A = this chain, B = another copy of it.
Amino acid sequence: MQIGEFEIKARDGAARSGALATAHGVFETPAFMPVGTQGTVKGVTPEQLREVGAQIILANTYHLHLRPGAELVRELGGLHKFMAWDGPILSDSGGYQVFSLAALRKVSDEEVVFQSHIDGASVSLSPERAIAIQEDLGVDIMMVLDECLKFGVDEARAAQSWQRSLNWAKRCKAARSKAQALLFGIVQGAFFEGLRLRSCDELIEVGFDGYAIGGLSVGEPAELRERMTAVCTGRLPADKVRYLMGVGTPADIVQAVCAGVDMFDCVIPTRSARFGRLYSGTAHINIRNQEFRRDEQPVDAECDCYTCRNFSRAYLAHLVHAKEVLAVTLASIHNLHYYQRLMAEIRCAIAAGRMEEMREKFAA
Binding site for B on A (CB under 8 A): 38-40, 42-47, 63, 67-68, 72, 75-77, 82-84, 293-294, 296, 306, 310-312, 314-315, 317-319, 321-322, 324-326, 328-330
Return the 3 tightest CB-CB contacts between A and B, nearest first: A84-B310, A38-B322, A68-B318
CB distance from A322 to the nearest CB of B (A): 4
Among candidates B83, B296, B315, residue contacting A315 with C-beta atoms closer than 8 Å: B83
Min Cβ gap A111→B in Å is 26
A45 touches B76 (CB 8 A): no
Instruction: Evaluate whether A293 and B45 lie within 8 angstroms (CB atoms) in the complex, with A39-B318, A328-B325 already known.
Output: no
What are 6 A-B contacts defined by CB distance under 8 Å? Answer: A38-B318, A68-B321, A76-B294, A76-B296, A82-B312, A84-B311
- Most B CB atoms within 10 A — which of A40, A294, A310? A40
Q: Could you say which residues of chain B place their CB within 8 Å of the CB of A294?
A: 72, 75-76
Which B residues touch A322, using CB under 8 A?
Answer: 38-39, 63, 67
Name the residue on B nearest A315 (C-beta). B82
Instruction: Specify which of B47, B63, B82, B314 is in contact with A72 (CB 8 Å cutoff).
Output: B314
CB distance from A102 to the nearest CB of B (A): 17
Would you call A293 and B68 a contact (CB within 8 A)?
Answer: yes
- Contact check: which of B42, B67, B318, B326 meets A45 at CB < 8 Å? B326
Of all chain B residues, which has the CB nearest A66?
B322
Q: How far is the CB of A260 from chain B (nearest CB, A)?
A: 35
Q: How far is the CA of A193 from the CA of B271 in the complex (A)?
A: 56
- Closest beta carbon of chain B to A84's beta carbon, Å: 4
Q: Is there contact, CB below 8 Å, between A296 and B77?
A: yes
Which residues does chain B contribute within 8 Å of A326, judged by CB atoms?
40, 42-45
| Residue among B47, B76, B293, B306 making CB contact with A312, cutoff 8 Å | B76
Give A46 Cβ to nearest chain B Cβ, in Å: 7
Give the docked Cα–Cα distance between A326 and B43 (Å).
Answer: 5
> How near does chain B come to A163, taking the closest CB pair, in angstroms?
36
A325 and B45 contact, Cβ closer than 8 Å, known pairs A75-B294, A76-B312, A318-B68 = no
Contacts of A317 in B (CB 8 A): 68
**A209 vs B210: C-alpha distance in the bound complex, in angstroms?**
68
Report how far A45 CA is from B316 CA in the complex, Å.
Answer: 12
Contact yes or no, A72 B312, CB < 8 A? no
Q: How far is the CB of A311 from chain B (nearest CB, A)?
A: 6
How distant is A296 from chain B, measured CB to nearest CB, in Å?
5
A319-B40 in contact (CB<8A)? yes
Q: With A45-B306, A326-B45 in contact, is A315–B75 under 8 Å at CB? A: no
Q: Which residue of B lies closest to A310 (CB)?
A: B84
Selected from B67, B75, B312, B315, the residue in CB contact (under 8 A) with A318 is B67
Instruction: Quote the shortest CB–CB distance from A323 to chain B (angstroms).
Output: 9
Establish whether residues B325 and A42, one from each chain, have CB atoms under 8 Å apart when the complex forms: yes
Query: Is A45 touching B329 in the complex (CB atoms < 8 A)?
Result: yes
- Smallest CB-CB separation from A41: which chain B residue? B326
* Min CB–CB distance A129 → chain B (angstroms): 21
